[in-house]
A and B are shown apart, each in its own frame.
Chain A
Amino acid sequence: MNEQFEQQVFDSFLEEAITGHGPPDLTARIQAAWEKEQSEATTDTKPLVVAEIVAKKDVSSGVAARSINGKSKNGKAFPDPAATVSQAATQQAGASTVGDSTSGANAESAPSGVKVPTTTERLRQATAVGEIGGGISQRRTVVAMLLAVSAAILLIVLGWQTMFVDGMGPSLVNDHPPQPELTNDQGERLGGRERDIAQHDRPEVSSLENQGPTSSDPGEGSLELNLDNLPFDSPQVAGPSSANPRANDRQVLPQRLEGDAVVAELDEQLSQLWRQVGVSPTRTLDDAALAEKMFTTLVASEQNEFKWADDRELNRLRFATYLTSQRGFASKWSDRITRQWLKRSSLPLDSEPVQELRSSLAAEIVASKPWNEIVLDVLGAELGESSDTSAENVFISALAGGGNHRLLKRVGFNFMNANLACIRCHDDASQKAEGVTARQETYWTLVALLNGVDARGNFASGGRQVTDKQPALFGGKNEPVAYYDLLNGRLKSASARMPGGESWKSKGADTPRKALAVWLSNSELADTAIVNQTWKSLFGRPLVLPVGGVDVVAEDARKRMLTFLTGQFRAHDRDLKSLVGWMVASEAFARSDLQLEHSQWLAANDDELQRIQITERVFGAANSLGRSAEASNLEQSVAALIKWSSGGTSGSALGQLDHRSVPKKSRRVGSELQMPSMSFAVHGETHLNSEEEFVKRLMNSTRLSWEQRVEHIVALSEHGNANGRIQQLAKELLRENDGDRQATLLDLLWAVQNSDARG
């Protein structure tokens, strides 16, 4: 899409260059329009009222009273107010002249026999409403005036938002909800910081549907951006799953347990999880099979092979520790991490800088370099104003550019344990969203922190060129901000601040990007992210999904496990080898696969399939996701769905065993029904209630087009992108599903999970 826009912009310049039709000078036109607008705004009815009142005064002097329709009670039309004004003015002039001089000419203009009040007297009479002669019509006029003024004030207070909801233009307001009165348990009103904390604990009110216009200060005529009042000025307290990012991590470390104790505690929590959900884990792999699985996962390559002596008893943690100390583990794991970071980036995974990064990571793993230092190196690398890609800057070089949204998405998954794509456009709609990573403001603050960082293809070398203009952009007093749209169409801005709210300069770095690197490297978010991603590498899905509300099976228990592992990871100096060792030595890793024959699958009803699915989701069975050929990428997973859907009927020889009313996605090949892959058979045919609810919310949103709904599903993927090809495949799948949009979105959800599991 970005390429298309770049072409579009270039074409417009090309057209101007060729035709010579450049921007006209609209200065005079704009000036005239503005002046006209200003003059219309200052025109009001006061003179008319004054004239009317003056005329009424004339009533007492003999001029007929004015009625609503402009005619006198005796049927004669009233004099034109302007004429009345001029008459009054003449009278005033006459009066003042009479009072001031003995000029004969002026004296003649005063009607004879009529006492002409002086100017001062007239004005006093005009404004002293109560003194004007009684009469219902006069009181009506006064009431009408008061009502008009009240209505104008009401419109200013209430009507402002209505104009902009209809899209007549942006408004740049300092939007945040009005502060409610909050009290503590003793009934005392909370002060500023306490109020902030209490407010933060309140559930998010926004949803895809209910994002109404945010309130604005009604009295705010100026749109000055008062940065001091933006929410990030107040320190945000993170939710239970993430610590206050400003806390010194040495002060919040849990008690460090030895490796055996960590594994024992992990196994205990897994047992509780399985009991809570009511699943029976699959059988435990025997020693030989488990040892082989550990070896294959951690160190296997073409250069080595494994053989386990049958008479040996496997000590899982000891064996895992041994394997993770091998050079092969560092090599294999650095490859996984590099792939996770840079898959589908702008640099091929086999390019020289990426290979150098892989080697450098392997060396750091061997040396047990604390993971947070690696994060600091990767994000805070020196870039220079313009430099070619190197191993040091490859993470940024491969992902930056195009507004840095792709870079942020990878930073989110790998260093913040968050799917930041969700909060690019709105606050996280999940009810359980907590912490700074649930807010749209956070996303755009991060965009602002990366302002000035860019990368583009180097046509000459075939590589990438990364630029960092932050020293120049942020060197002075005025720093660039990031503008973004709220769902109600309003415009807001975000400045370069830490997600916790403090200034980037408080981190002691010379640019915002480096400050972000420092902040993240000390943040529990980064620790949680690596724990979750490591779990995902081993088990095919993260321990806790970074997006809330989609997979909620025993979510609290899984969050406790994640918190426990993160704490021990920090206590063990963020040693990646230890972390991997614990996970591989756990009961979850020792689970065998679930086996499902075709006939069993056909015969299974929804509840049975869901039981199987949940067993895998709580790691009671080895994960079937990601192990089939079509899981290599999202497009292939969707293409497989289309293939299965196009051949699917329930009219088979085994049809009498099918208890389901909806045919399963089998494909007929000759006279045989071909079962889809195990991962689809388990996870694609039925879905969790929470997944169905998630899709239903998308379907119920009137704001979203079909393409945007597809984008929402694909955005759950770590590496997927709802590009033209995916949209086309989604439309094809929709056709195969006979236009059933909900079923199609659920199918896409499976495709996302399947391709993500492969990594």
Chain B
Amino acid sequence: MTADSSQASKVGSPTELDLTELVARHQATVWRYLRALGAEAALADDLTQDTFLEVMRRPFQQYSDAATASYLRRVAHNLFISKRRRETRMTVTEHAEQFESAWMRWAGFESGNVTLDALADCLTRITDRARQALNMRFGQGSSRRDISDALGISEHGAKNLMQRAKTQLRECVEAKLK
């Protein structure tokens, strides 16, 4: 993208579509959004690609990064739903707005990097046991039973431990994002 068009984009006037620039600016957002929707990593890769191809087939004029990102997320959402429909005949479109709202709460107009930085810092502040439980749960996909065995607590205790830890992390991240 030329410097002129980049400048135009920054001041908000409509710009022509440049694939490389578009992907560079928004692929992280789209990929993370798809993962948040529930897509596995490989599916998120595929649908991210499909999202950008889709918008390139039907060029639109960009008014702002925020509007473009919102549009891309909606395209990604629809592609995800179509995929799920073909697999399981599930209809979830009525929750698209709510999901978008939930996304905006955590990622805002960014790609999520700020949230992740905040989360990384907040993870250092929870107890070692809580961190271990979350690592096993999210990092290794361990069952609650495995976690409870590893920590020497009941399954119910493991659930409570992770619940409290996540609540602390949310509050910590929210405070940082303010």
Tell me, rounded to whole Å, the shortest Cβ–Cβ distance linking A211 to chain B: 13
Look across to chain A and name the residue whose beta carbon is closest to the beta carbon of B83. A167
Count of residues in B whose CB is under 8 Å from the partner chain = 72
A37 at the interface (CB under 8 A from B): yes
Binary A-proximity of B29-61 (CB < 8 A = 1, otherwise 0):
001100110100100110011101110101111
Query: Which chain A positions have C-beta within 8 A of B24?
Result: 27
A201 at the interface (CB under 8 A from B): no
Tell me, rounded to whole Å, the shortest Cβ–Cβ distance linking A481 to chain B: 7
Query: Which chain B positions have C-beta within 8 A of A170?
Result: 54, 74-75, 78
Look across to chain A and name the residue whose beta carbon is closest to the beta carbon of B29. A23
Q: Are B91 and A33 in contact (CB under 8 A)?
A: no
Tell me, rounded to whole Å, the shortest Cβ–Cβ distance linking B125 to chain A: 13
B4 at the interface (CB under 8 A from A): no
Q: Are A172 and B70 in contact (CB under 8 A)?
A: no
Q: A2-B98, A170-B78, A483-B74 are in contact. Are A225 and B123 (CB under 8 A)?
A: no
Q: Are B41 and A21 in contact (CB under 8 A)?
A: yes
Q: Are A5 and B59 in contact (CB under 8 A)?
A: no
A107 at the interface (CB under 8 A from B): no
Q: Are B67 and A481 in contact (CB under 8 A)?
A: yes
CA gap between A478 and B23 in the complex, in Å? 22
B171 at the interface (CB under 8 A from A): yes
CA gap between A25 and B134 in the complex, in Å? 27
Query: Which chain B positions have C-beta within 8 A of A27?
Result: 20, 23-24, 27
Tell me, rounded to whole Å, the shortest Cβ–Cβ distance linking B113 to chain A: 9
Q: Are B91 and A17 in contact (CB under 8 A)?
A: no
Q: Most B CB atoms within 10 A — which of A11, A29, A172, A478?
A: A478
Q: Are A222 and B59 in contact (CB under 8 A)?
A: yes
- Given B75, B99, B103, which contacts A169 in the complex, CB threshold below 8 Å? B75
- Given A31, A167, A172, A478, which contacts B60 in the complex, CB threshold below 8 Å? A172
Query: Which chain B positions have C-beta within 8 A of A7?
Result: 166
Q: A17-B119, A24-B45, A167-B81 are in contact. Are A30 and B19 (CB under 8 A)?
A: yes
Look across to chain A and name the residue whose beta carbon is closest to the beta carbon of B60. A223
Tell me, rounded to whole Å, the shortest Cβ–Cβ distance linking A528 to chain B: 28
CA gap between A17 and B124 in the complex, in Å? 11
CA gap between A397 and B21 in the complex, in Å? 39
B144 at the interface (CB under 8 A from A): no
- Given B54, B95, B106, which contacts A6 in the complex, CB threshold below 8 Å? B106
Query: Which chain A positions have C-beta within 8 A of B138?
Result: 11, 14-15, 18-19
Q: Are A18 and B12 in contact (CB under 8 A)?
A: no
Look across to chain A and name the residue whose beta carbon is closest to the beta carbon of B56. A34
Binary A-proximity of B94-110 (CB < 8 A = 1, otherwise 0):
11111111110111000
B143 at the interface (CB under 8 A from A): no
Tell me, rounded to whole Å, the shortest Cβ–Cβ distance linking B104 to chain A: 9
Tell me, rounded to whole Å, the shortest Cβ–Cβ distance linking A203 to chain B: 26
- Given A2, A14, A22, A485, which contacts B93 in the complex, CB threshold below 8 Å? A485
- Given A8, A223, A708, which contacts B36 in the complex, CB threshold below 8 Å? A8
Query: Which chain B positions have C-beta within 8 A of A2?
Result: 98, 101-102
B170 at the interface (CB under 8 A from A): yes
Tell me, rounded to whole Å, the shortest Cβ–Cβ distance linking A483 to chain B: 5
A213 at the interface (CB under 8 A from B): no
Q: Most B CB atoms within 10 A — which of A23, A456, A708?
A: A23
Query: Which chain A positions have C-beta within 8 A of B173?
Result: 10
Q: A23-B32, A30-B53, A491-B74 are in contact. Are A14 and B63 (CB under 8 A)?
A: no
CA gap between A167 and B54 in the complex, in Å? 13
Query: Which chain A positions have C-beta within 8 A of B115?
Result: 13
Q: Are A403 and B78 in contact (CB under 8 A)?
A: no
Query: Which chain A positions have C-beta within 8 A of B142?
Result: none
Q: A478-B64, A708-B94 are in contact. Are A18 and B102 (CB under 8 A)?
A: no
Q: A14-B138, A18-B134, A403-B98 are in contact. Are A167 and B105 (CB under 8 A)?
A: no
Query: Which chain A positions have C-beta within 8 A of B150?
Result: none
Q: Are A9 and B75 in contact (CB under 8 A)?
A: no
Q: A9-B105, A13-B119, A224-B60 are in contact. Are A26 and B91 (CB under 8 A)?
A: no
CA gap between A15 and B48 in the complex, in Å? 19
CA gap between A445 and B82 in the complex, in Å? 26
Look across to chain A and name the residue whose beta carbon is closest to the beta carbon of B178. A386
Q: Are A478 and B67 in contact (CB under 8 A)?
A: yes
A476 at the interface (CB under 8 A from B): yes
Binary B-proximity of A705-743 (CB < 8 A = 1, otherwise 0):
100100000000000000000000000000000000000
CA gap between A270 and B95 in the complex, in Å? 44
Apart from A1-B95, A15-B35, A485-B96, 11 more pairs, CB < 8 Å: A10-B166, A18-B134, A30-B49, A31-B19, A33-B49, A34-B52, A34-B56, A172-B58, A223-B58, A478-B67, A480-B66
Interface, chain A (partner B; CB < 8 A): 1-2, 5-19, 21-27, 29-31, 33-34, 37, 167-172, 222-225, 402-403, 405, 425, 456, 459, 476-478, 480-481, 483-485, 489, 491, 703, 705, 708
A–B pairs, 10, beta carbons within 8 Å: A9-B106, A14-B169, A27-B23, A31-B23, A170-B54, A172-B71, A224-B61, A483-B71, A485-B93, A489-B93
